[in-house]
Amino acid sequence: MGLPKHVAEILLVEDNPGDVRLTKELLKEAEMEPTLHVVTDGADALDFVHQRGEYADAPRPDLILLDLHLRQMDGEEVLAAMNGDVKDIPVIVLSGSQQGADLKLTDVEAKVDACMEKPLEPEALTDVTHSIEK
């Protein structure tokens, strides 16, 4: 089934190497072939999205997978800092607990297209990405 054709570049904001590896495997297993860019903290995510510093030549992502619990500048802070600047980029928030993601996001005024509990399942990610309109 794969990702919608408009999802060619994915930015994964994840500080856990195991979760990065699992996400890569998940995309391969689900026969999704986007270019996956990985940053490990919120500041780098903002630089990537705004094409600043070492990410000046970075492509604009078609989708952001954002871990809610980052060591430096957590996902909530990233969303607040991106508020309004990247409203055309779908954001899927990742959390170790769906309930935790939902509760924490009630305080964030930013566009979030979906919340998913980790570990991600191939079919669930495919379904969510297909449901997001560009």
Q: Which residues contact 30 (CB under 8 A, 6 or more apart)?
A: 1, 2, 122, 123, 125, 126
Per the domain annotation, does 2 fall within a domain? no
Per the domain annotation, does 99 fall within a domain? yes
Per the domain annotation, does 47 fall within a domain? yes
Q: Which domain holds residue 69?
A: 15-121
Per the domain annotation, does 1 fall within a domain? no
Q: What values do phi and psi take at 88, rounded to 5?
A: -90, -5
**What are the 10-residue block averages of pLDDT along the chain, 134 residues in total?**
66 94 85 88 94 95 90 84 76 73 54 78 79 62
Per the domain annotation, does 3 fall within a domain? no
Residue 90 is part of a domain; what is its CATH number? 3.40.50.2300
Per the domain annotation, does 74 fall within a domain? yes
pTM above 0.75, yes or no: yes
* Structural domain total, the chain: 1
The answer to whether residues 35 and 59 touch, using CB atoms and an 8 Å cutoff, is yes
Per the domain annotation, does 131 fall within a domain? no
